[in-house]
Amino acid sequence: MFNIFNKQKSLSIYAPMNGKLIDLTEVEDPVFSEKMVGDGVAIEPNENIVLSPVKGKITLLFPTKHAIGIETEEGLEILIHLGIDTVELKGEGFNAFVKVGDRVNIGDKLLEMNIEIIQEKGKSTHTPILITNMDKVKELKLMNKDSVKAGKDIIMEIILKD
């Protein structure tokens, strides 16, 4: 019979930055590589600007501007963590264009990270993009791409639980 009443809710997550898509297990920090915070992917960025990967609301912005949280209209929570151990930089090399409570669309400018400063300070620029409330996720499909363009390429497809 027809499945018009069983249509699954899905959500596309776009690349928040230009760069190389890498498997989360390759990130140098076990908090991310062992998926303690959530599941997703990481990007090795080649540009400084971070765009919104989804339509939603800013729910978290660290004072150091090295991490940002967005909640989608469907209730999915996305965390973008700029680099590894970058909290130790105390905000140096980071700039925010949004604040908690702001509504954003796919492709809106969120943050800027100065890749050169981060690398000069001996930190990794690997940037995890995580779903932190995996209890809402029925299926997470990672895109198999190498190079991604911010706001243009889909990096994850999420099927939500009913």
Which residues are part of the catalytic machinery? 81
CA distance 35 to 39: 5
- Report residue 16 as tokens: 């928040």
Q: What is the DSSP string of 102-120?
A: -EE-TT-EEEEE-HHHHHH
- Report residue 137 as tokens: 């996720």
